[in-house]
A = this chain, B = another copy of it.
């Protein structure tokens, strides 16, 4: 079963706190509310959103920082994901 985001949506998988510590990232205290550090699982094709052409800047596998309160959480095959608009992604980590 594959999840295919529409338009400018991006599917994120929140990074587990222990993985983060390994790569040197420490989650802020508010991390339990909503994903902030996440990896990109699926990227929509972009297109005309609200009458404006949106290009996609993130790719599957990117480590990203997303707005704390953005997105919709879904559970597919027992795994939790967050679907955000690309505009809710603030930065990538390299």
> Which positions in A face B, CB cutoff 8 Å?
1-7, 9, 11, 23-28, 36-37, 42, 44, 47-55, 57-58, 65, 67-68, 72-78, 80, 83, 87, 89-94
Closest B residue to A4 by beta carbon equals B92
B75 & A26 in contact (Cβ 8 Å cutoff): yes
- A7 → chain B closest CB, angstroms: 7
Q: Could you say how many copies of this chain the assembly holds?
A: 7
B6 & A57 in contact (Cβ 8 Å cutoff): yes
A2 contacts across to B, CB distance below 8 A: 93-94
Closest B residue to A7 by beta carbon equals B57
B28 & A75 in contact (Cβ 8 Å cutoff): yes
A3 & B91 in contact (Cβ 8 Å cutoff): yes
